[in-house]
Amino acid sequence: MNHLKEEELIEHYYSRGEGGDAAQEHLEQCARCAEAFKALEDDLSEFADVEPPARDAGYGERVWQAISGTLPAYEARKRSWLHINLWQGLSYAAACLLLVGVAFFAGRQWEHKQVQSAVKSQPPPVQQPVIPTQPRERVVVVVLSDHLDRSERLLVELKHADADSEETVSPLRDEARSLLAANRICRQDARKSDDPDLARALENLDRVLAKVANHPGRMDAADLTRLQEEMNADGLLFEVRVLRSRIPNRQGAKAARTEGGEI
Amino acid sequence: MVRMGQDDQAAIRAILAGDKEAYGALVARHASSLFRVAFRITGNEADADDVVQEAFLRGYRKLEGFESRSNFGTWIYRIAVRCALDRIGGKKVDESRRVAEAPDLEQDQVQVADAAAGPDRLLLSGEIGALQEAAMRSLTATERTAFVLRHLEDCTTGEIGAALGIGPNAAKQAVFRAVQKLRLRLAPLRVRI
């Protein structure tokens, strides 16, 4: 059996009556510890309360009179100002945080709803090809028209070019290189749109542009004459002019087909 | 008690609003209970009076920091305990010299009168009181205060810790040390009686 230590006896002495004390059970079974506890009780009972000297009803008043002269009055305004400002500041900060939070949440919700409504308002799948196709073809038509204009100008300048002048031939070569890339795109589009006349004319144009653009070194009079003959032989300039004049009609026909839903 | 708490809160609001005189009501209401604990800790009437005044002065200066949820009586009681602790702690140097110069335990045994002496009862009682007083003076300020609060004021170790600004375990240890020292000092008395 483990006997109670002095600390445990002291703890038990002061916590008696609080219940749940295992020390009490031990003391009832252990004579040695019970004897030690009795000695502790005897010792501590010697320190009985000495009744403090009585103080009459006027004691508090006398204490107040003794100290009141040294006490400064609180400054109500200063105190309340600090107090109110502190709480006001905290309240404003909390309100701002709440406002920012609500605004953020509302923004997220609004954005979410916008995306959902955009998805819902999309046209049905049947109509989908109509809308994107129409602008795409219009862009190609505009580019083709522009391309034919530039090509016509180039061919006219080439027709009247002077082979002895480098200042005339060199810009033509640069322009031909630029037109060559655009011509290939237009030619591919003509094939796709099943327009054999346009495709053939663009092929002829491509051949001339390639020769001008890729001609090595300085273009002499013989080269220039050969190109001019080829142009005339094929009637390329005339063909380009005819095609360019067809563009508005061709655009109108396409638009009519689009409205009819044939595309 | 609730009524008193409400009155205390109203008085505190008035004081903080600039009405200094309202503090007089708080002083009148709590002065006696502060004197009682101050006297038990200091063991001296004059010191207890000084402690009461000092406690109310400190309380007034700290009143802005008083939390309205707390009980003013408990709050000013703790301040009074700290004031009393400071007072007996300040005297500790002199007291420790007295304790060091006190007769040793063997000498104590010789000096205490025998209980069988019958006619010397009053003298014995006086000597016991003197020995108890000497034993109390042998304690440190914290031990003495902790013992008084536990033994005479029926405070819990948590309340003692709060009043002394230490943890409950430290308060419990202070009480243990105080009891051990007191028993050791009173051992000669027990042998002779």
How many domains would you assign to chain B? 2
Interface touch A68/B16, C-beta < 8 Å: no
The answer to whether residue B117 neighbours chain A at the CB level (below 8 Å) is: no
How many domains would you assign to chain A? 2
Angstrom distances, CA of residue B174 to CA of A261, B74, B156, B185: 100, 21, 13, 17
Give B97 to chain A, closest Cα distance, Å.
23
Domain ranges, residue B98: 92-193
Determine, yes or no, domain membership for A208.
yes
Interface touch B57/A71, C-beta < 8 Å: yes
Identify the segments of chain B with pLDDT beneath 50.
Answer: 1, 93-117, 193
The domain boundary residue, chosen from B57, B90, B123: B90
For residue B106, the model assigns a pLDDT of 45
Name the residue facing A43 among B40, B53, B183 (closest C-beta): B183
Residues A255 and A135 in one domain: yes
Determine, yes or no, domain membership for A163.
yes
Taken in order B58, B64, B67, B70, the sign of the CA dihedral is: positive
Beta-strand ranges (E) seen in chain A are: none
ipTM of the predicted assembly exceeds 0.85: no
Name the residue facing B15 among A49, A74, A80 (closest C-beta): A74
Q: How far apart are CA A179 and CA A154, in angstroms?
A: 9
User: Greater confidence, A215 or B71?
Assistant: B71
Angstrom distances, CA of residue A13 to CA of A8, A24, A213, B40, B177: 8, 10, 114, 20, 15
The domain boundary residue, chosen from B90, B110, B143: B90
Q: Would you give the end-to-end CA distance of chain A in angstroms? A: 104
pTM for this entry: 0.52
For residue B108, the model assigns a pLDDT of 44
For residue A205, the model assigns a pLDDT of 84
Residue B29: list chain A partners with CB under 8 A.
Answer: 60
Name the residue facing B27 among A6, A64, A75 (closest C-beta): A64
Residue A60: list chain B partners with CB under 8 A.
Answer: 27-32
Q: What angle do CA A10, A13, A17 make, to 5 degrees?
A: 145
The answer to whether residue B16 neighbours chain A at the CB level (below 8 Å) is: yes
| pLDDT averaged over every residue in chain A | 77
Name the residue facing A79 among B16, B20, B35 (closest C-beta): B16
The answer to whether residue B166 neighbours chain A at the CB level (below 8 Å) is: no
Residues B121 and B171 in one domain: yes
CB-facing half-sphere around the CA of B104: CA atoms within 13 A:
1
Three-class SS state of A246: helix
The per-residue pLDDT for range A67-113, each reduced to its tens digit, is 999 888 888 655 555 556 677 788 889 998 999 999 999 988 888 88
The per-residue pLDDT for range B168-184, each reduced to its tens digit, is 999 999 999 999 999 88
For residue B172, the model assigns a pLDDT of 92
Q: For residues B146 and B175, is the Cβ–Cβ distance under 8 A?
A: yes
Residues B107 and B191 in one domain: yes
Residue A257 confidence (pLDDT) above 50: no
Domain ranges, residue A6: 1-15+23-43
Per-residue confidence at A117, pLDDT binned at 50, 70, 90?
A: confident
Mean pLDDT of A180-185: 86
